[in-house]
Structure 1
Amino acid sequence: MATLSFEPLSYDDIPVEERPTLFQALVPVLGMLTFLSVGAIGLGLDAHMPLLWGIVLTGLVGRYWIGISWTRMYEGIVDGLRMGMQAILIIFIIYLLIATWTGSGTIPALIYYGLDILNPQVFLPATALLAAIVAFSIGSSWTTAGTLGVAFIGIGAGLGVPEQMTAGAVLTGAYTGDKISPLSDTTNLAAAVTNTDLMTHVRTMRVGTSIAMGISLVLYTILGLNAAGAIPAESVGNIQSAIAGTYNLSPLVFLPLLITFGLALTGFPALPALGAGIFAGVFTQFFLQGPLTVANFVAAWEVPMYGTEPETGSELVNGLLASGGVVGDSAWTITIVVAALALGGILERTGVIAVLTHHLSKAITSVAGLTIGTAVSAFGMNILAAEQYMSIVVPGMSLRGLYEDFDLESRNLSRGIEAAGTTTSALIPWNAGAIYMTGVLGVAPFAGSMGLQGYAPYYFLGFLSPLILVAMGLTGWRITKQTEETQAGLKGAISSLGDD
């Protein structure tokens, strides 16, 4: 389960003389959004430099206007990076895994047999369903996207389905399974920071998530019907021939996949399970994809480092199966994640996030407003802090008292931060979630970024999940009040704390 090594500042934690005004808090936020809009969209720069500009502006405002020392702001950056360290390590290891599974024949075999089983009409809904099942089983949307998602992109390309549609279906399925899985780290974190029983939180998530998934499947079915016949039928055969002529497609090539998912299903954390998958992939390549020589053993271990450049005789297949390994692919992704986490850390330490959250909570006067405010707060943290954990922790800790004031069960809050926080992280281009998905799937949230296609219009869960949450708040449907027993228990706990 994801845990925090520090507690984000609350409004009351900040000494009055160091507490930013609302105007002071808005300056670095508006500046950052301006930098990203002008730099990344207007000038076509990678997001690294606009994020750097945002860090500098926030540092100057914090030091010379608010009065925070450089040391404390540096500590905030370190805390931001520490919070995102698990994400950075997963990004690092996933790039090793993708290259290894390509060299071992695992991903080529998934594409080869997937083209036999699937067709354009059913591909998109089937992709979303399979991704949901896998993510639910292992509790990780990132692992699902970085393994099966990569294969689905290849299968979709072979069937003539646009890659941005495939990526949207992968993300919808992966985040759906993740959100209703008791094994998910963000699901556990949402329950923990809101003092909600884990299984109660999971059951509360299932209704809205299932409705969003059901609507998504209908939309993917419609898209799939329109995608039929996009490429000549013989193209599938050509792709399969190119793969079969280059790789040994023995059933043993699926061993790395079985080991990785098997460990995940038995409760192993993501990093050890993925690490085992790398070793399994290297040895599978050594024993199945070439002669048993020292040179081939060395070559198998170079693949996760430097990637693959297959020569299949088909430019399409070569493009699908080419990978840069950790050297060629991970640097861009990891550096932008580091920059985004640093910006989130300095915004937190200067009190900007706490002040904005405080003023948002003051504007809430009804249950509907509280639900909408929770959604806005979670989504806002994805923009400001660029890390899905912060989208759970900050509103989860800041709004607990308001939910108690409205006599609402904590499950309402835990559902709100998950439905509007984790699921929308992949929509913010500089958020760690979107950066990761762009890196492994080769599709950006919005078209034009790095010359890539955009998956956002087809990532239906990212829009439907918060919209359904807001509808619940406006109508009162599935909004649960505290029972008399629950209220008595809370009062007893508060009383005992006072006695201590």
Structure 2
Amino acid sequence: MELSFKQAIIPVITMAFLIIMSVLVWDVPIQIALFFEIIIIVCLSFIWGYRWKKIEKMMFSSFRSIGNVIIILFLIGMMIGLWIAIGTVPTMIYYGLETINPEYFLVLSFISTSLVSMAIGTAVGTASTIGLALISIAETLGMSLPLAAGAIISGAYVGDRMSPVSSIANITAHSAEADILEMVKSMMKTTILPYIIAAIVYLIIGLNLGGLGENAGGFLELTAALDSYFMISFWMLLPPILIISMAFLKVPTIINLAINIIFSLILGIAITDRNWSGLLNIMFQGFDESSGITFIDNILARGGLTSMLELISLIIFAVILGGLLEQLGVLDSILKPIVHHITGKIKLAVVTVFSSILSAILGCNQFLAVFLPARMLIPHYDRIKVKRKELARALGDSGLVFSPLIPWNVNALMMTAVLGVDTFYYAPYAFFILIMPLSNILITVIKHKKELID
């Protein structure tokens, strides 16, 4: 059964209403909004003639794709707890406080995470290594965590979007039937301006923060406290070096994280005074010790497998919702009336950007954000004689990179899990990501400006 536009728009409207109400009026977790939205869509499915067995199948159609995500989140939670306990995160904070000028912290965070993400091709890997250290340093400096997270996530998704070793970048190229290297070259055209603008904005904000480092107070006391409670040593930097090296060698994420956890356990037992039982409990419950030092008891109290349970519940609801919307063909029904009236290359680019972001919103993950619009728009790109690499670029500049700014999207949930900052708070400061869709449209308009004259 193919839904009409009027039918398809109903779940979109109810979803928007419930999310707005849950955040601004009811002040309840977004899981509750998604739960009631699922109930509404199930009721609509019955009205539209679907039987329960079919509805149940649609609900769980995307579950195969989240098994990896759940395992990765559990592994990251355990790894973060371990890294704090054995001294890896404290060592990164210690050296960071000694070397980073607070005025340049934001711009350096953006640039450094972008370079790491280009090297290893994964935003999650970037955030859970250098990003984790940077957000801890930001908290130590007394800096706005949403602002710091915005800079870190902006940099992390530079490589996630266009690194040749990025899995989602390769999926984007494959979905658009474009060559990955041609797509990356094409993406450079829309990347340069947003990258420069974001870097300048982060620099200006950092300079205007002025004496933040001095106001944070007592750097010497903080470093002394870290040194007194943890093992501060170059050896403690081996776990992040290992995880980045293995990601660069294209070792699958789950294997990479599992090996790192085992390595960190062995390192902790061999070098620190912590015992096996204590570290295993920290892997499960997170680091939460009463040291008497406010910084350690508050800022470093995080990690552990259990810390991921709330986010995983949100992922489960989001995936059920995404499966229903995908299988019902909601996106297709909404976009078909628009797509069939495309006559020019500029309009085609605008529709691509819009449909990809909408797919990321409704599908709750990056894969659907690039795959669904690509399948729908390929015939129109061929009809208007636009190269496939431009389709791939438009998808990468919109739904792919925009996913971490959608609170119920799996990518946003993973960033929140690692950095500990809610999507609603960091999204306004992810300047590179916010500019990317506009950059794509601007470059297309400049290239095909004759269409505007005609």
Q: TM-score, normalised by structure 2?
A: 0.95
Query: In the TM superposition, what is the alpha-carbon distance from 1:461 to its structure 2 partner?
Result: 1.4
Matched residue, 1:476: 447
Distance 2:291 2:338 in 1: 57
* Equivalence map 1:257-276=2 (5 Å): 257-276=240-259
The residue identity in structure 2 corresponding to 1:269 is: P
Q: Verify the 8 A CA contact 1:84 1:387 in the aligned structure 2.
A: no
2:261 matched to 1:290? no
Worse overlay, 51-60 or 432-441: 432-441
* Equivalence map 1:227-242=2 (5 Å): 227-230=209-212, 231-232=214-215, 234-242=217-225
Distance 1:376 1:234 in 2: 46
Distance 1:478 1:237 in 2: 58
Query: In the TM superposition, what is the alpha-carbon distance from 1:43 to its structure 2 partner?
Result: 0.3
Which of 386, 410, 419 is the matching residue for 1:408? 386
Matched residue, 1:246: 229
Residue ranges of structure 2 left out of the alignment (5+ in a row):
none
Which of 45, 57, 60 is the matching residue for 2:28? 45
Distance 1:429 1:162 in 2: 19
2:361 matched to 1:383? yes
Distance 1:413 1:194 in 2: 6
Query: In the TM superposition, what is the alpha-carbon distance from 1:73 to its structure 2 partner?
Result: 2.4
Which of 319, 336, 349 is the matching residue for 1:358? 336
Q: Verify the 8 A CA contact 1:125 1:220 in the aligned structure 2.
A: yes
Matched residue, 2:188: 206
Which of 435, 449, 452 is the matching residue for 2:413? 435
Query: In the TM superposition, what is the alpha-carbon distance from 1:97 to its structure 2 partner?
Result: 1.4
Query: In the TM superposition, what is the alpha-carbon distance from 1:324 to its structure 2 partner?
Result: 4.2
Matched residue, 2:207: 225
Matched residue, 1:371: 349
Matched residue, 2:89: 107
Deviations 1:346-367 (A, max 9, x none): 1111221221232231242221
Worse overlay, 259-268 or 402-411: 259-268
The residue identity in structure 2 corresponding to 1:88 is: I
Query: In the TM superposition, what is the alpha-carbon distance from 1:478 to its structure 2 partner?
Result: 11
The residue identity in structure 1 corresponding to 2:351 is: G
Distance 1:311 1:243, change over 3 A: farther
Query: In the TM superposition, what is the alpha-carbon distance from 1:262 to its structure 2 partner?
Result: 1.4
Q: Verify the 8 A CA contact 2:140 2:216 in the aligned structure 1.
A: no
* Equivalence map 1:172-191=2 (5 Å): 172-191=154-173
Distance 2:55 2:287 in 1: 42
2:307 matched to 1:325? no
Q: Verify the 8 A CA contact 1:139 1:181 in the aligned structure 2.
A: yes
Matched residue, 1:461: 432
Distance 2:402 2:80 in 1: 25
Which of 287, 295, 318 is the matching residue for 1:340? 318
Query: In the TM superposition, what is the alpha-carbon distance from 1:390 to its structure 2 partner?
Result: 0.7
Q: Verify the 8 A CA contact 2:80 2:303 in the aligned structure 1.
A: no
Deviations 1:137-158 (A, max 9, x none): 1110011112221210111122
The residue identity in structure 1 corresponding to 2:93 is: I
Distance 1:477 1:280, change over 3 A: farther
The list of structure 1 runs, each at least 4 consecutive aligned residues, that deviate by more than 3 angstroms after superposition, is: 231-234, 310-313
The residue identity in structure 2 corresponding to 1:210 is: I
Distance 1:83 1:258, change over 3 A: same
Distance 1:395 1:236, change over 3 A: same
Distance 2:26 2:301 in 1: 29
Q: Verify the 8 A CA contact 2:343 2:384 in the aligned structure 1.
A: no
Please state which structure has a larger fraction of its residues in helix: 2
Distance 1:50 1:364, change over 3 A: same
2:297 matched to 1:314? no
Distance 1:433 1:289 in 2: 34
Matched residue, 1:281: 264
Distance 1:360 1:69 in 2: 30
Query: In the TM superposition, what is the alpha-carbon distance from 1:233 to its structure 2 partner?
Result: 6.7
Matched residue, 1:300: 279
Query: In the TM superposition, what is the alpha-carbon distance from 1:417 to its structure 2 partner?
Result: 0.7
Q: Verify the 8 A CA contact 1:429 1:445 in the aligned structure 2.
A: yes
Query: In the TM superposition, what is the alpha-carbon distance from 1:420 to its structure 2 partner?
Result: 0.2
Point out which structure has higher relative CO (alpha carbons under 8 A, 6+ apart): 2
Query: In the TM superposition, what is the alpha-carbon distance from 1:106 to its structure 2 partner?
Result: 0.7
The residue identity in structure 2 corresponding to 1:184 is: S
Q: Verify the 8 A CA contact 1:168 1:456 in the aligned structure 2.
A: yes
Distance 1:286 1:73 in 2: 51
Q: Verify the 8 A CA contact 1:196 1:414 in the aligned structure 2.
A: yes
2:104 matched to 1:122? yes
Distance 1:322 1:477 in 2: 53
Distance 2:67 2:375 in 1: 21
Distance 1:63 1:349 in 2: 14
Q: Verify the 8 A CA contact 2:114 2:157 in the aligned structure 1.
A: yes
Query: In the TM superposition, what is the alpha-carbon distance from 1:192 to its structure 2 partner?
Result: 0.5
Query: In the TM superposition, what is the alpha-carbon distance from 1:34 to its structure 2 partner?
Result: 1.0
Deviations 1:408-447 (A, max 9, x none): 110010001111012111111111111221222121222x
Distance 1:360 1:242 in 2: 61
Query: In the TM superposition, what is the alpha-carbon distance from 1:41 to its structure 2 partner?
Result: 2.4
Distance 2:171 2:163 in 1: 12
2:395 matched to 1:395? no
Query: In the TM superposition, what is the alpha-carbon distance from 1:177 to its structure 2 partner?
Result: 2.1
Residue ranges of structure 1 left out of the alignment (5+ in a row):
1-17, 447-453, 480-500
The residue identity in structure 2 corresponding to 1:426 is: P
